[in-house]
Structure 1
């Protein structure tokens, strides 16, 4: 048995205990007997017999690392051993995934389902006291569920998802380990002069992935394409000159995501100096990620430091305070500092003040924040400040009353480089932060 498997086995029992306790408390509050969690099912493309890639229900994979098997179900009441209904059809058209022995199997009563439409024979007979959790509402109604994704129940689960168990942290470290391996392969491909497409293939090949196995579509951008925040095109022709490279790409382990971004300059030039400065800024933000601090306040502090970078590199003609007050910093940094990370890349519960789901609004001047929650130990975040030279945003700024605050000659000299984003994945502990990305060797 490998060291990683041993770690998973050691921590899994406590993970299940924690989920059982959360479920029991949630069910008591809502006066519901139990929950039935649907892994999901394949969805066919319109007017086609081909299905979209299967994405498992995150509530399902919270309990066990089955991420590629549709038509499975969990029956949970917070006290008794959960029941797993495992779909294993007789099928000669498609590969059937057998139920292998694993560290998690002993924690479930397992019932095998050979025909998806027969699942009602294995579900609770009287469903009025059970809530369905899943995306297939028509299936839930056909089976007789009346409580379907009840909001108070989901709010409770989503709020507590922010607090990761030790088992979850093992999974997140391993997803970072995979992503770091792939990022290093992509970096090597860039400096060898590869195309965006070939860099993507180097990334996937390094960890044996297909495109559908990444937790989100990789962003692999060269030169000016780095200014497109969600660039997905993957040019197959190399640019005449390699100037810059931005890669935002992750990995999955047992359903837990890594989300890492790096930016590189092909030469040791002014853009390379700007990357180094933004890297230090990112690490400063990581240092500020402390229990009791509002993530909003950390974003605003970083926003001001980006204003200072604009001053240092002579991109603006005014002070950092003036740039913050006028809002021109948002042209160069148009997104939030980061987000919660876990079973989903942008994990749930990010705007909740409590387990009832009380919403914490983002500040009016920072509408693109992905979390407004108070930082606490046991939570996992990305930190990903950016500085971009986006033509459309710069055009709007140039036509505005604040145009004279910008040194346009300096800004224009950076347009062909596109922009910079640097992103690490951080576990917040009570006494310190654990930077999984850096600890695993990606600088």
Structure 2
């Protein structure tokens, strides 16, 4: 294990918090506010029922604190003062109550424990009109209604693009947790398990379930690998498991990992050879995550490289350039190359022109790309090229008059395996990029 991967988040936290205070100072000055208030969020209840949906903490709250299960609490920051945490610890025998405040963050905050949400009101600075309040509408408390001022939000979200060492330490922890699950899931697939049982093996290995995982696991066997967000999880195993795609992550103190791997039952077969070719493309694209590289260009390079794979395997009859120009490549690779990741799986500011707002648009014909910025040191992005055999999209190629670009017999060869996606997280640095995912697999092996 490297020194970077074993770094103690607690030791790195003070510098992280100091950076957040500097960012908040600038954001408040830009917005013309005196105080920053961040509610942690509250429970959402199902319509006509008293059952709540799984609680999701406000990302702006967990940016400051490694607390992800603390509804009806507030973070208060006033420039020049120690941050305050209003810590909701209710009297409740229906649910588990948050433990007494504690952890590496505690000494850096003034903490006030409240027993009901309303007890926060006299602890909030006033007047409310002088507060930038970042949160969802239902977090409103009296006159303290989330206003999400654009100047404040734009600046703070832009700063989240550049991960601190503390954040990277937690993201590496999330990688290692997810890798445990991926290894267990592959073993279950090799043993002949069905999708639901593979999913359960993953959750057991990670020690997280739907309330903890950063997103719903995608676990697809055979043709199901061609459904980009497949989450149905058949409870019985298919008669023959030919292929397996898993897109699954883990959480560490609110930071997400997002990893995808594809496996073939026949390790010596043609589909495995195609997986290996996509894996080579993925690693080459990861090595291109360098300061000054336009992510839009990297996305288009992925199209060309993947079409080169299909050309080599006899699926594509035209050049990769022709496939990209005519839109044929989008039938096989219909999503974006990746996205920013951190506090959220699809993290913010992927399209930001600068820290005052504005938007960098996607290239024409690529509506699902989630990142259009030029890469800079401190950014972490996913690199997830894929090749899929999706009937709906391939039929559109025929209807648009480009059917002769494809060898349809070769499509039928690979169609029963659904598709391939390989995904790592990569940190852009001042020099060589750092792949955060592959070392975690190497350590586990």
- Shorter-chain TM range is over 0.9
Q: Residue 31 of structure 2 contacts residue 149 of structure 2 at CA under 8 Å; is this kept in 1?
A: no
The CA distance in 2 between the partners of 1:160 and 1:375, in whole Å, is 14
* 1:211 Cα deviation after fit: 2.2
* 1:275 Cα deviation after fit: 0.1
Q: Residue 22 of structure 1 contacts residue 78 of structure 1 at CA under 8 Å; is this kept in 2?
A: no
Aligned equivalent of 1:56: 57
Q: Residue 388 of structure 1 contacts residue 420 of structure 1 at CA under 8 Å; is this kept in 2?
A: yes
Asked whether 1:181 is paired with 2:180, we answer: yes
Q: Secondary structure at the match of 2:173?
A: helix
Which residues of structure 2 form unaligned runs of 5+?
none
Asked whether 1:352 is paired with 2:352, we answer: yes
After superposition, what is the alpha-carbon deviation per residue over 1:153-173, rounded to whole angstroms, capped at 9, x for unaligned?
100011110000000000000
Aligned equivalent of 2:300: 300
* 1:101 Cα deviation after fit: 2.4
Q: Which residues of 2 match residues 198-209 of structure 1 at below 5 A? A: 198-209=197-208
Aligned equivalent of 2:438: 438
Q: Residue 41 of structure 1 contacts residue 71 of structure 1 at CA under 8 Å; is this kept in 2?
A: yes
Q: Secondary structure at the match of 1:368?
A: coil
Q: Secondary structure at the match of 2:171?
A: helix
* 1:305 Cα deviation after fit: 0.9
* 1:8 Cα deviation after fit: 1.4
Distance 1:139 1:346, change over 3 A: closer
Q: Secondary structure at the match of 1:37?
A: strand
Q: Residue 35 of structure 2 contacts residue 79 of structure 2 at CA under 8 Å; is this kept in 1?
A: yes
After superposition, what is the alpha-carbon deviation per residue over 1:413-439, rounded to whole angstroms, capped at 9, x for unaligned?
111100000000111111111111101
After superposition, what is the alpha-carbon deviation per residue over 1:104-158, rounded to whole angstroms, capped at 9, x for unaligned?
10010000011112221221242121111111x2543x52136711111100011
Q: Residue 131 of structure 1 contacts residue 145 of structure 1 at CA under 8 Å; is this kept in 2?
A: no
Aligned length: 439
The CA distance in 2 between the partners of 1:47 and 1:216, in whole Å, is 26
Aligned equivalent of 1:84: 85
Asked whether 1:253 is paired with 2:246, we answer: no
Aligned equivalent of 2:230: 231
Q: Secondary structure at the match of 2:425?
A: strand
After superposition, what is the alpha-carbon deviation per residue over 1:266-306, rounded to whole angstroms, capped at 9, x for unaligned?
00211000000000000010011110111001111111111
**Greater CA drift, 4-13 or 264-273:** 4-13
Q: Residue 296 of structure 1 contacts residue 372 of structure 1 at CA under 8 Å; is this kept in 2?
A: yes
* 1:362 Cα deviation after fit: 0.4
Q: Secondary structure at the match of 1:98?
A: coil
**Greater CA drift, 330-339 or 203-212:** 203-212
TM-score by length of 1: 0.97
The CA distance in 2 between the partners of 1:202 and 1:77, in whole Å, is 46
Over aligned residues, Cα RMSD in angstroms? 1.5
Aligned equivalent of 1:279: 279
Q: Which residues of 2 match residues 19-418 of structure 1 at below 5 A? A: 19-135=20-136, 137-140=137-140, 143-145=142-144, 148-267=147-266, 268-418=268-418
The CA distance in 2 between the partners of 1:407 and 1:170, in whole Å, is 47
The CA distance in 1 between the partners of 2:16 and 2:96, in whole Å, is 31
Which residues of structure 1 form unaligned runs of 5+?
none
TM-score by length of 2: 0.96
After superposition, what is the alpha-carbon deviation per residue over 1:327-352, rounded to whole angstroms, capped at 9, x for unaligned?
10100000100000000000000001
* 1:100 Cα deviation after fit: 4.1
Q: Secondary structure at the match of 2:204?
A: helix
After the TM superposition, which parts of structure 1 deviate over 6 Å for at least 4 consecutive aligned residues?
3-6
Q: Secondary structure at the match of 2:365?
A: coil
The CA distance in 2 between the partners of 1:302 and 1:263, in whole Å, is 18
Q: Residue 26 of structure 1 contacts residue 156 of structure 1 at CA under 8 Å; is this kept in 2?
A: yes
The CA distance in 2 between the partners of 1:406 and 1:147, in whole Å, is 53
The CA distance in 1 between the partners of 2:48 and 2:205, in whole Å, is 36
Q: Secondary structure at the match of 2:158?
A: helix
After superposition, what is the alpha-carbon deviation per residue over 1:290-324, rounded to whole angstroms, capped at 9, x for unaligned?
10111001111111111111111110111222212
